[in-house]
Amino acid sequence: LAGSPVKFDDSGDGLARYDILNYQRHLNSSGYHYRKVGRWFNYLQLDPSYLVFENNNTATPTSACSLPCEVGMIKKQQGDTCCWICDKCEEYEFVYDEFTCKDCGPGYWPYEDKLSCYALELQYMRWNTPYAFVPAAFSCLGILVTFAVIVLFIKHNDTPLVRASGRELSYMLLFGILLCYLNTFALLAKPTTEICITQRFGIGVGFSIIYGALLTKTNRISRIFDSASKSAQRPSYISPKSQVMITCSLIAIQIILTLVWMIVEPPGTRFHYPTRNQ
């Protein structure tokens, strides 16, 4: 009757037939009208060249509830499970999955794409910085001067002046000074367990040698002058051997205390992480 074919599906129902209309503005007027741009009859027949959208734009607009999130962002679902908003992860977080950000953890930082994390570079005293170079230069100078004095003492070892100065204690004093200068390099080196042990022993023992030798030498001179004003008898424990033994006893106290310290609090490296606002 209509002059067009009629078709049925497997269930005996007639196939749907639709005309696709596009609401467009008249070319030469301000009015609008519907223009047929295609049809549906078992399959789509559409002529995109006839389509006109907002502001006479012929490009097909995107029809989506939510657009894909950019790199480094996660989805936060709203009421509809098919729709979401995109949210950025924190500076210290990476994208664990499309819905979750995870903290990289202490000592790690996310890459630019926020897909994974990398270990931060360790911060410690570097040899090429002024804070290390200047103390190291002064220590080198002090070591050279100390060695020069030791050479002079050895060269004039049997002269009355060197013997009167307390030759044995003077050598111990010079050794302590040399050890203190060498400790500078242990303090500036990259922290390790071995370096920590060296620092504890070197600093404590170095200064105990210096102060032990000075204390013993000062006490010897004081006792000699004090005894001379009272009697002609020679004071006890003023021989070079006795003086060295007294100094070694004072140094041994420091060594014992350092060993106890190492047992109570074993040396080792510790990581100190900056706070989030740093």
Q: Render 53-87 in DSSP notation, one character per residue.
A: -GGG--SPPP--SSPPPPTTEEEEE-SSTT-EEEE
CA nearest to 14, candidates 38, 42, 39: 42
Q: What is the rounded CA–CA span in Å between residue 227 and residue 203? A: 36
| The pLDDT of residue 247 | 92
User: Per-residue pLDDT tens for 147-159?
Assistant: 999 999 999 888 8
Which has the closest alpha carbon to 242: 225, 228, 258, 224?
224
Query: What does the alpha-carbon distance between residue 199 and residue 268 come to, in Å, rounded to a whole number?
Result: 11
pLDDT for the residue numbered 224:
73
pLDDT of residue 121: 87
Phi, psi for 68 (deg, rounded to 5):
-60, 145
Angle at 92 (CA atoms; ends 90, 98), nearest 5 degrees: 55
Mean pLDDT for 117-130 is: 88
Per-residue pLDDT reduced to its tens digit, 177-228: 999 999 999 999 999 999 999 999 998 999 999 999 999 888 887 777 777 6
- Judged against a pLDDT cut of 80, whether residue 22 lies above it is answered with yes
Q: Which residue has the higher pLDDT, 159 or 10?
A: 159
Higher per-residue confidence, 232 vs 44: 44
The secondary structure element, H or E, covering residue 156 is: none
Angle, vertex CA 156, rays to CA 150 and CA 157, nearest 5: 80
pLDDT at residue 63, as a whole number: 75
